[in-house]
Structure 1
Amino acid sequence: MENPPAFRPSFAGEGVVRALLRARDWSNFPYGQPEAWPREIRSTIEMVLDAAAPTAFYWGPDCLYFYNDAYLHVLGDKHPAALATPFWGSWEELREGFAPILAEALAGKACNLTDIRFTVVRNGVPETAYFSYALYPVFGARGEVAGILNPAVDSTAAMVSNRRREFQLRLGDLIRELTDPGDVVAGASALLGEYMGVDRVVYLTVDDAGEAGSIGRDWSNGHLPSMAGVTVRLDDYGAFAAQGARAGRHLIISDVVADERSAPFAHAYAALGVRAVLAIPLLKNGRLRVILSAHDSAPHVWTKAQIGMAEDMLERTWSAVENVGAQAELRRERDQSEYIFDNMAEGFAMLDTAWRIVRMNGEGLRLTHKTAADVIGRSHWEVWPGLLGTPLEALYRQVMDDCRSGVIEVPCATPQGEIWMEVRAYPALDGGLAVFFRDVTARRKSDEKLRETDRRKDEFLAMLAHELRNPLAPISAAAELLQLGKVDEARMRQTSQVIGRQVRHMTSLVDDLLDVSRVTRGLVELDMQPIDIHRIVTDAIEQVTPLIRTRRHHLGLELTPDIPLVSGDRNRLVQVFANLLNNAAKYTPEGGHIGLRTEVRPDHVLFHITDTGIGMAPSLAARAFDLFSQAERSSDRSLGGLGLGLALVKSLVHLHRGTVTCSSPGLGQGSRFTVCLPRLAAQEEQAAAPPQEAPRPRSGGPALRIMVVDDNADAASVLAMLLESARHEVIVEYDASEALALSAASGCDVFLLDIGLPGMDGNELARRLRAQPETAHAVLVAITGYGLQSDRIQTAAAGFDHHLVKPVDIDDLFAILANVGQPGG
């Protein structure tokens, strides 16, 4: 057998790599001196060194790196440190993409790959490169994979050329599809940024002086912020850059810090986040118009291909922007009248002298329920023959004959029913008509509703005057009787009862008015608590029982055996059901039937109040809860009331997040009202206990010294008599200043002060009483006709302890007096 050829000593031959291998000290090499290397390794390395194409060899598990002279342009500044050292020590940046492929080759599988993209660092700068390469396992004497043979071809130039052609094609397709100049710039900038692999692309439109530029739209990959809307002064980045741009010269800087031209202005570039910049100016008719800039946040070596793509993009984008802008201007001029015509908020039509419809906008077609084909070119009277002989035809002919505009409102039939149209007609230049029209049905209904509301308000005020005069008559007669002075005790008691009843009636009327006012203005604050529905019903029935007995009604109750809780204000809910029961009692003839039934659902509770009364017509049932709504009554108003009760009921129920409805089969057939209130959840019902009503203080207690201050002499005198009948000593004053002068020496325990006093009002008097030592600790009670929450806040701020609204509830006043001097009173 013939012996294999001997290994050429000391890597004999020419070449840079061979010389380095011969000069190397192999004493620390893992596999010893070259003469001791395995024959298959020596022969593979010699083959690599002899190859004309770029070829490398990775030896062993550490992939010790050998390559030939042709491979040096692939390595760049990695050579010579990479020679005969582990592969990853030089190519760490390739690990993510290349490691899996290399692992397959080390496992014995050959690989062939074409045009694979890598980011490689050459001369200290990362750049994109493309390689087509193969990996062939080299087997050792025992059949193991001893190394990898790696012939490689740098296909970057071919790939870049292909990508530039692809970029040009995509740019052309993109520009053809866009019609807005801003979209053209933004789309082309994004495409260029994608192909160049940069962080930002800026399209700078330069002013006429060539001193500054504005950025409308740009593109960024997120590594650098957008510069859209920024104005840039060219000289801020160096005179060399500004002068070069005005002269049409490219600015190519791979590193603004290292480049001696830009280094003095590095701070200006850093403010924009720029480390590398490529700027391509565009001159038209000798004037700088645009600068296209590509920015990178890291040093970037700009290739000829990238510069070429930027030049392509700038020239084609400029042309497209100019073309799109010109087309847009033409479209604006052409479409301006069409836009106004089609986007008017009312119908518009043009009629020629023969009454033919020349044009009609979209709103006009919508209002008339027609299509353009239905009306354009046809006679107005052919399309709408029903308008012949109407006031509208008369208006049209008058405008056309007299050349003076006119307006009219006319009813029009539509598939959805009759509507009202306001029509304004103007003479046109060609002798025809320009007609504007709009639907005013809602406005007419609103006007009609306002008129109806005004009418009901007038009726209400008339009824209010009647209701207030009615109790004044017996009060006046009783007063005359008492003045005679010859009235026995029984007649005196009867007269007092008459006055008391009539005062309570007037108080009820005023309370209804105030309640409605407060609720409708959102001034009512609810004291929400868990409440037993049976308790609500019981309290409401207690209030209405006297009227039911008087009218001899039968009251039927059907209360559910369950006792669910609702969340509400007890007093207000009692007021709701008392009003509904009172309404049923008033409008049911004597001996009628009134029913109240409760119904419990999982989430809510229903209350049904029915009666066999006068019922309601459908028109009244539809507005039963409206303010001032009333059924027809006799002129004597024998049933009483102001038509406020149901409006108040609706408002209070809505405040409790509930609903109330009414229905009636018709006049004389009774009515049905249903209130629906949200029910507390089961766990809330178990946790909640109905609140216990505190016992009401009764009159009594020690005799007190009391000063009453009221400019109404009658009111002050009557109140003094009531207080004296309860064993209190009373001083009456009609003037605030005189009351203040006497107060220090009076020794009064309590001051009952009217608020609306002339001169010094009650609040000011209260403040002065609190300021002097002799009366600082007296009990101050406001007696006033003002009962809003804001009034109560003012009296409390003035120093009052209590606030009572006229006419005063005597039980409330006596309860206050009974607690004077008591602990916590």
Structure 2
Amino acid sequence: MVLDAPAPISFYWGPDCLYFYNDAYLQVLGDKHPAALASPFWGSWEELREGFTPILAEALAGRACNLSDIRFTVVRDGVPETAYFSYALFPVFDAAGNVAGILNPAADTTATFISNRRREFQLRLGDLLRALTDPAEVVAEASALLGEYLGVGRVAYLTVDDGGAAGSVGRDWTNGSLPSVAGTAVNLDDFGIFAAEGARAGRPLIVGDASTDKRCAPYAHAYAALGVRAVLAIPLLKNGRLRVILNAHDAAPHRWTKAQVGMAEDMLERTWAAVETASAQAALRRERDESEYIFDNMAEGFALLDPDWRIVRMNAEGLRLTHQTTAGVIGRSHWELWPDLLGTPVEALYRQVRDQRTSGTIDIPYTLPGGDVWMEVRAYPALEGGLALFFRDVSARKQAETQLREADRRKDEFLAMLAHELRNPLAPISAAADLLQLGKVDEARVRQTSQIIGRQVRHMTSLVDDLLDVSRVTRGLAELDMQGLDLHRIVTDAIEQVTPLIRMRGHHLALELTPAAPLVMGDRNRLVQVFANLLNNAAKYTPEGGHIGLRTEVRPGNVLFHVTDTGIGMAPELAARAFDLFSQAERSSDRSLGGLGLGLALVKSLVQLHGGTVTCASGGLGQGSRFTVCLPRLAAQEDDGAGVLAVEPALHDGGGPLRIMVVDDNVDAASILALLLESAGHQVVVEYDARDALALSTAGSWDVFLLDIGLPGMDGNELAQRLRAQTGTAGATLIAVTGYGQESDRAQTAAAGFDHHLVKPVDIDELFAILATVTRAGA
């Protein structure tokens, strides 16, 4: 029966279990045949003794046994191979009822077993991939599962670069028999051109034993470096490009079956899809988390509305701005929360954005529990007909815009006033010039005309000086000559300057000064300017016959000066900005009171430079005004001679007429200056070009040179330097006559060798005073 059966059958005979079998059983024995024939069972299957002994004992005891899918390592074609068999052990009894042998029919169930295993692998892989969301975990867990089913030492997932020539291992799995290669960079050509080109073509690499595979011999070092003899590499191409290679490694030779290759291909394809999905989901989660972080931390409010106007989401800043809570807004209608916006431009904007799918912006005033605010709202169309709203408090911006508009209005008014103020003196100057050109004017009329021109020029000069002064001081360019001062004397000097105007307008000036003279550290001229401006302001804006008061008040650390008047007063809004640049009260079109309204801005800047403050108060229009200056007090012991004011040096007469050269490319300016100097008895020569003047300077002796700075070709500074370098003119007095009067301009002329710096139009009294100090050459 055994010999004739087509299925594999063996028979164990006698107490030694002598082994007999048919030809079909040879597939189970492999290379154990023919040595196993008629030999004891354990001689051929020693490796099964531990697990098989109890089963064999059962059969020898007379009990039949059935075993399914028992794993055997069989050698086929010289290569060890794992196979699975199902078989039964049936005891065979002799006439006495004793077990004489064991009949062992067997069936090779390897194909069925592997098919079932592959199906089981696919199910487990599917369950595994569904549960994972991190791409790295997907690769790691799937690699471990494949390694377990293939029975190999390592599974590595190699990501290939865009060129398809190299890659790197992100995550791998090992059973301990091989080290991890995670993070290793791999060059595909190192493992053979056949391997690299096959991978790029999408063909799997199957190496059962690298030590005997002739293809691998030239690249044995690369395989040895990985510690492998068996390699299964499955490439994956997407859109014609090699993306990844799945590698299964074993340290021992391995016969790769079609089933195992199929399992690896299944794993790679499904893992790639899972990795792509997980990567996309991770990117979406990152975008969602980033969006949530941005929205929750942005400096403006955000709200998302669904098509039915319900609030789906609002960030923390939005809740703060609207004084709401998350529970109080989510799911509620926008119009239920803010019903007062219905029927307003806000509703119209929202409906336009929702219906036309275009964005829009609006600024709205709104009253919130915290007060009135201006809110900027930007609306954008959202998905499924909803709205995305961004809003922020722009009250500060609105206030700044209002202030800028007001400042711009005041600037325009100031410029119009400046133009008017400058045109006023130009009219009589122009008329006087026309009168003088008639030629038939008697000496008295010429004198009167000259006086008119002089007054108007001085007035224009004062206007320009005010503009320059306020510019220098407000920009912090003014330099203070600080010394200890008796402010009673400062007040006296200021009153002296304003007395003519007070007398002209018939005002009564009341002084109330403290007995002890308060001392401060300051600049004498600038503080006189401060109090003169305040008193002048009071005199101009108080109707004739009014009252002006000046009172001092001494405190432990400060000195206060109160200037009061019974004048026109100020409205509250004007009093609040009285010291702003370009700010002034309404004026009549005839500009009868004069001035540019710069005085108070200058007062404030100068007082602040002295470490003090100045304030303004008024009961309203017609109620008069009060200005209070507060300055830090200087203790008497700190004075070191405070109160002793510097005395201007006395001028002394010169020794007779001087020889003067005037150099100016402005013919009219040079000519009129020469006439004035000649009228005072001086000998004057006029030159309009710097080089001609330099050439003429070597002829004769010269006492004074009056040089314009802005000369063509060679400027006045260079001309002065050359005059100083000449022996004949080195000792002459050099006077700069220029339209530039900044400190930097004065420093340049001083460096060039000038003795004096006069600003156009020249103050004739100042010029004559300078000339009076000059000694004639050779005297």
Task: Classify the TM-score, shorter chain.
Answer: 0.5 to 0.7
Q: In 1, Cα distance between the equivalents of 2:406 and 2:483?
A: 40
- Whether 2:592 is the aligned partner of 1:618: answer no
Q: Secondary structure at the match of 1:516?
A: helix
1:519 maps to which residue? 473
* Paired position in structure 1 for 2:422: 468
**CA separation of 1:419/1:724 partners in 2, compared to 1, >3 Å: closer, same or farther?**
same
Aligned to 1:640: 594
Q: Does 1:348 align with 2:302?
A: yes
Aligned to 2:759: 805
SS of the equivalent of 1:596 reads strand
| Number of the residue aligned with 1:549 | 503
**Deviation of the 1:757 alpha carbon:** 2.1
Partner of 1:720: 674
Q: CA RMSD in A?
A: 2.7
Contact 1:699/1:814 (CA < 8 Å) preserved in 2?
A: no
In structure 2, the partner of 1:452 is 406
1:635-664: CA deviations, max 9, x gaps? Answer: 111110111111111111111111111111
Equivalent residue for 1:751? 705
SS in structure 2 opposite 1:775? coil
Residue 637 of structure 2 is aligned to residue 683 of structure 1: yes
Given residue 604 of structure 1, which amino acid in structure 2 is its aligned partner?
N
Mapped to 1, the partners of 2:668 and 2:455 lie a distance apart of 18
1:566 maps onto 2:510 in alignment? no
Establish whether residue 653 from structure 1 lines up as the match of residue 617 from structure 2: no
Distance 1:698 1:582 in 2: 33
Q: Does 1:741 align with 2:699?
A: no
Asked whether 1:432 is paired with 2:386, we answer yes
Distance 1:701 1:470, change over 3 A: farther
Counterpart of 2:550?
A: 596
Aligned length: 506
CA deviation after TM superposition for structure 1 residue 703, in Å? 2.4
Alpha-carbon shift at residue 620 of structure 1 (Å): 0.9
Choose which of 359, 367, 371 in structure 2 pairs with 1:417. 371
Shift of 1:601: 0.9
2:476 is the counterpart of 1:503: no
Work out the CA distance in 1 between the residues paired with 2:532 and 2:671.
Answer: 35
Name the SS of the counterpart of 1:423 in structure 2.
strand
Q: In the alignment, what sits opposite 1:61?
A: none
Contact kept in structure 2, 1:605 and 1:678, CA below 8 Å: yes
Instruction: Give the whole-Å Cα distance in 2 for the aligned partners of 1:530 and 1:668.
Output: 39
Residue equivalent to 1:80: none
Counterpart in the other structure of 1:164: none
Aligned residue type for 1:602: P
Instruction: Check the 8 A contact 2:614/2:628 in 1, yes or no.
Output: yes
The answer to whether the 8 Å contact 1:661/1:675 transfers is yes
Alignment of 1:380 with 2:330, yes or no, is no
Using a 3 Å threshold, how does the CA distance of structure 1 residues 356 and 330 change in structure 2: closer, same or farther? closer
Deviations 1:92-140 (A, max 9, x none): xxxxxxxxxxxxxxxxxxxxxxxxxxxxxxxxxxxxxxxxxxxxxxxxx
Q: Which secondary structure does the structure 2 equivalent of 1:708 belong to? A: strand
Write the letter of the residue equivalent to 2:472.
R
* Secondary structure of 2:639's aligned partner: helix
Paired with 1:486 and 1:406, the residues of 2 have a C-alpha distance of: 76
Distance 2:724 2:649 in 1: 30
Corresponding residue of 1:608: 562
Note if contact 1:705-1:750 (Cα within 8 Å) is conserved in structure 2.
Answer: yes
Residue 595 of structure 1 deviates from its aligned partner by 0.8
Report the CA distance shift for 1:634/1:699 in structure 2 as closer, same or farther (over 3 A). Answer: farther
String of CA shifts for 1:297-353, please: whole Å, max 9, x gaps.
xxxxxxxxxxxxxxxxxxxxxxxxxxxxxxx99997874333212101111011111
Q: Could you tell me which of 686, 691, 697 is aligned with 1:732?
A: 686
SS of the residue corresponding to residue 745 of structure 1 reads coil
SS of the equivalent of 1:760 reads coil
Give how far 1:457 is off. 1.4
CA shift, 1:468, in A, is 0.8
Q: Which runs of 5+ in 1 are unaligned?
A: 1-205, 211-246, 248-284, 287-327
Task: Give the Å deviation of 1:700.
Answer: 4.2
Alignment deviations for residues 36-92 of structure 1 (CA, whole Å, 9 cap, x no partner): xxxxxxxxxxxxxxxxxxxxxxxxxxxxxxxxxxxxxxxxxxxxxxxxxxxxxxxxx
Contact 2:302 2:314 in 1 (8 A): yes
Query: Kindly tell me: are residues 698 and 821 of structure 1, through their superposed partners in 2, closer, same or farther at Cα, counting changes over 3 Å?
Result: closer
Change (3 A) 1:709 1:406: same
1:566 touches 1:678 (CA, 8 Å); kept in 2?
A: yes
Per-residue deviation at 1:728? 1.8
Which amino acid is the alignment partner of residue 474 of structure 1? P
SS in structure 2 at match of 1:714: helix
Q: Which of 656, 664, 679 does residue 710 from structure 1 map onto?
A: 664
> Counterparts in 2 of 1:58-207, with a 5 A limit?
none
Gaps of 5+ in 2: 1-180, 186-226, 228-248, 251-281
Alpha-carbon distance in 2 for matches of 1:700, 1:534: 36
Offset of 1:807 from its aligned partner?
1.8
Question: Contact 1:529–1:691 (CA<8 Å) still a contact in 2?
Answer: no
Between 1:803-812 and 1:627-636, the stretch displaced more is 803-812
Residue 764 in 1 paired to residue 715 in 2? no
Which entry has the higher C-alpha Rg, 1 or 2? 2
Q: 1:686 to 1:748 in 2, by over 3 A?
A: closer
Moved more, 673-682 or 487-496: 487-496
Residue in 2 aligned with 1:370? 324
Runs of 4+ in 1 over 4 A off after TM superposition: 206-210, 328-335, 698-701
Distance 2:182 2:420 in 1: 82
Q: Distance in 2 between matches of 1:468 and 1:527?
A: 32
Residues 735-793 of structure 1, C-alpha deviation per residue, up to 9 Å, x if partnerless?
22221221111421110011122332212222222233222222111001100111112
What does 1:305-324 correspond to in 2, within 5 Å?
none
Cα deviation, residue 665, structure 1: 0.4
> 1:477, 1:471 → 2: CA distance?
10
Deviation at 1:625, TM superposition (A): 0.8
Q: Determine the structure 2 residue equivalent to 1:241.
A: none
CA contact (8 A) 1:701 1:817 kept: no
**Is the 1:698–1:811 contact (alpha carbons within 8 Å) kept by the matching residues of 2?**
no
Mean CA deviation greater in 424-433 or 524-533: 424-433
Question: Could you tell me the TM-score, scaled by structure 1's length?
Answer: 0.58
| 1:588-611 deviation line (CA, Å, top 9, x unaligned) | 111111111111111111111111
Give the deviation of 1:797 after TM superposition: 2.2
2:646 maps to: 692
Shift of residue 517, structure 1, vs aligned partner: 1.1
Amino acid at match of 2:341: L
Q: What CA distance in whole angstroms lies between the structure 2 residues aligned with 1:619 and 1:391?
A: 32
Question: CA separation in 2, counterparts of 1:700 and 1:374?
Answer: 93
> Are 1:408 and 2:362 matched, yes or no?
yes
**TM-aligned CA deviation for residue 445 of structure 1:** 2.0
| Residue 583 (structure 1) aligned with residue 537 (structure 2) | yes
C-alpha spacing 1:334/1:509, structure 2 compared with 1 (3 Å): closer
**How far is the alpha carbon of 1:495 from its aligned partner?**
2.4
Q: Are the aligned partners of 2:426 and 2:456 in contact in 1 as well (CA < 8 Å)?
A: yes
Q: Do the aligned partners of 1:700 and 1:814 also contact (CA within 8 Å) in 2?
A: no
Alpha-carbon contact 1:557-1:597 (below 8 Å) kept: yes
Paired-residue identity, %: 79
How far the C-alpha of 1:733 sits from its partner, in A, is: 1.6
Change (3 A) 1:746 1:361: farther
3-state SS of paired residue (1:430): helix
Aligned-residue offset at 1:682: 3.4
